[in-house]
Structures are given as C-alpha cells and as structure tokens.
Chain A
Amino acid sequence: MKLQVSTRLAIFALLHLAGRPDEQLSVSDIGDKYGISSHHLAKVMHALGRAGLVRAVRGARGGYQFSGNASRTTLLDVVQLFEDWASPHAISGIDGRTNEAWALSKVVAEIDEIAQATLGSITIATMLKLIDRRRHEQKRST
C-alpha cells in the first residue's frame, strides 16, 4: 500500500501539531523538520483546515494549531481527505467483466478492506502514544 505524498505530509503535520497542542507552528517550522517544500505543505494545511483538523492563528507568533479531537480522529479520516477510496474498484482500477478480473478484484478488495479497517482503528492519540513509546525506548537504549 502506498500513500500519496500529500497524505503522508498531512499525517506528519497533524502528529507534529497534535503533539504540541500549546504551540503555533508555521508551515516552514513543520516543513523544515520533514524536509518538505513550504509550497506543497501550505496546500496540505489548507485542506486540513477545511476539514477542521487545524486552525490558522494570526499574529506575529502566528501559525497552525491542531484543532481536531486527537482521540477521535483516525488515520483513515486523514487519508480519505487526500486519497480516492470511494470503492475497491476505484482503487484497484480493475475492470470486473472477466472472471480473471473478478478474481483479482476480490483479492484487491480484501486487501483494501484490511487497510481501511487498520487505518480506521488508529487515532492521532494512539499514534502519539506509539511515538512517545519509541522516544522512551530510544532514550533507554542511549
């Protein structure tokens, strides 16, 4: 499974912001950390803003803030903002007119269902917990 660059940027940005709820971070603050162009990231932030997941704060120390509910926003919610996951056929691009195509589309649909269930079961809060655990493990090993 391959996520588009925009999707990955959106997830990185949300995790970055949700992990720092009291800070306002600019597009360049976030872009610098992940080596992303500000231009590309700005478009992503705009889409996240429309979805109510981030809020732009104006002013000298303005920037973006996470405005979603970390315990209720799943990775699937974010992925669906950027990927076309309307139906398994739309994802696979498989025409089901032949039996061979039908059989292959059945397998692809199975993969898709598992991917969707996985992404739909992991919230931003759960991701932050995973990141935190990794941070502690790294600290312990050094």
Chain B
Amino acid sequence: MGAGGRRVAADGGGGRTRTLSRNRVPHAVESAVDIKTRAPAEKSVRVRRVKATDIPQVVALDQQITGIGKAEYWRDLYARYGKRRLAERFFFVAEPSGKRAGKNILGFVIGEIRAWEFGSAPCGWVFAMSVDPDTRLHGVGKSLLDAISFEFRKAGVSKMRTMVARDNRLHLLFFRSQEMAAGPYLQLEKELD
C-alpha cells in the first residue's frame, strides 16, 4: 500500500473469493464444454468444466496460495459442484489453450446460482477463485470470471456477487478491475462467547 509522498504501486491478478434463478434454470451446460467457444475469453486460455483428474492440481494450487492443504474439502466441492446440478453450479478450470492444453491448471473458479438468501432475488455467487501466481496478469482470472458470468447470464440471472476480505487487496483489486462494486448488503458478525 502506498503512503504519502512516495511513488505507489498496487497489484492485480487472480482472486479468491460465493444464490437460483426465478424459474428452473435450463440444463444447458454439459459436463465438459469449451467455454471459450461461447464466452469472451483470453485467446491463450481455455476454460472448461472441472474433471476428477484436475482435483489434485486444484488442491496443489490452493495449498500453494493459502499454505493449507485441504484435499478433502476440494474433493467434496468437486462432488457437489463438479458433478451435480450442473445447470446452476459451475466449477471451471483454466488451462493453456493449444499444444499444452490439459497439461496444467492455471486457475479455477467455483460459483452457483442461489435465490432468496438474505431476501435476495436469484443471483450468481462466486465463492472460490484462484489463479496460479506465476500466470497472473495474463488474463486467466478475467477468462474464468467471464466464463462463469456467461453461464450465470445464460441461466437467467443478471447479477453476480462475491465476498472478499477487506484486507485482501489483491482480490479486491481484481474484482474491482472487472467492474464489480460494493453491493447493497453489509456483512456482520460477532464473537460468540
């Protein structure tokens, strides 16, 4: 964070970060589709549905970033978001397009369409997103967010939400750069004695 009188710099890149359509959403997304062909994305990045064989790379990427290995958590997310109710749940991974495709995962995003929580009309929630630190600032995060936005819109919702820790500048900068702004809700909490 810059301070007074000094040259200042922020960072940008991938981010991490979590509602149902008014009607039932159509079962339009197959289990493995090249989202790139339908949603705007960076040319060098291909975004597709996650596969079981991707999960070890997802676990490794998350561990690299958070420092915490949570293999069971990610396997559970794969079971819930990678295999079931796929018209409203989206677990996508980004990989290099072309020759190296399928070799390594550059990042991932998970979200779903949820309705009426907190009195909110149906909207898309992005609740997990991560980009390989070595490939940040190359449009991977944007491609992932574009792909999931495209699916949210296709499923009939017109709003996308996420939640970011106030002190997580990297993720805040990323989502802001994607034209996301503060919404109408305030998150509240308390310590339970």
Contacts and interface: CB of A to CB of B under 8 A. Distances in A.
A53 B8 CA distance: 8
A20 interface: no
A66 B2 CA distance: 17
A72 B173 CA distance: 9
B176 A122 contact: yes
Interface stretch (B95-103, B121-129, B164-172): B164-172
B68 interface: no
Interface stretch (B9-17, B20-28, B38-46): B9-17
Q: Range of interface residues on chain B? A: 20 to 34
Nearest to B170: A121
Nearest to B8: A77
B173 A51 contact: no
B1 A120 contact: yes
Given A71-B12, A121-B169, A76 B176 contact: no
A45 to B, nearest CB: 15
A43 interface: no
Contact of A80 (B4, B12, B172): B4
Contacts of B67: none
Interface in A48-62: 50-53
A120 B173 CA distance: 8
A123 B173 contact: yes
Contact of A117 (B4, B6, B172): B172
B190 interface: no
A120 B8 CA distance: 11
A73 B166 contact: no
Given A118-B182, A121-B169, A125-B177, A74 B10 contact: yes
Interface stretch (A27-35, A89-97, A98-106, A126-134): A126-134
The 6 A-B pairs at the shortest CB distance, nearest first, are namely A121-B172, A77-B8, A52-B7, A77-B2, A117-B166, A72-B9
6 contacts: A68-B8, A69-B9, A72-B10, A74-B173, A123-B10, A123-B12
